[in-house]
Structure 1
């Protein structure tokens, strides 16, 4: 007897664990980073990140809006799209699953010892000649990961109540 996606999720098979969420975040490298300017205007942009030690790291230009505006509130929102579907995605328009969360963010200059400890992950983001002049945004997820389609089947993604989940960050 085969169980439907709804039955599997009701039995607990669709709720992702914190480890599954972090594994998906670590496998991906692109996210949408949202923040508010000092005058209260919302902004968002796509960023490439590295994940290590329960944090995300983004390299930005020192004169970028991210480097200049994030320190005003230290608060950001992040959405990581997670590609799903494999070969099916080539045949059908399958939207990505997502992981979203609120976070505290700190903009560092490069060369700090605590940032240098993740330099191998950051080296994949920025060419060595630009690393000395960039700023590193260190992102500390807080609260819950809000997931859509993580730990569920593609079929279950069609039903929002089955595909959504909250997973504690810590």
Structure 2
């Protein structure tokens, strides 16, 4: 499996399945003796970016910080899995430039909004719809879908095992190219 350290950037709406995919990928990679680290959006917000809010400027700074950490991890030989909503294309492009295009793999979880809302494990969509959360991605703030992601999954119809398998296949193909 890949010795090439790269960054898997998982993007999509809240409850689209980013964290589940990140953890399943980490488990599969570690089983193949690949050193990896998951940078989950919620954990990042509690640690690396605890001083930031959710304004567009703060979201951009959050992405900048995570991308810099991913670059450092890759430089140290560790595969990074960033699972962040990262709603703006410009910010994801900044992350790609920071990490390096050759090491950046964009994975879009294209799960429909209605499915994400039905899952809503933290009640965030409900709170956003009732006005309790301002600037909530997909409701009162936009989500700019990737134009040409390396992979795209709809977790409403694609099982987690399929998403993991296809991602691992892409990583193996990149290693051989």
| Bigger share in helix | 2
Rg larger in structure: 1
| Structure holding more strand per residue | 1
- TM-score interval for Structure 1 and Structure 2 normalised by the shorter chain: under 0.3
Instruction: Point out which structure has higher relative CO (alpha carbons under 8 A, 6+ apart).
Output: 2
TM-score by length of 2: 0.26
Task: Give the TM-score, by structure 1 length.
Answer: 0.26
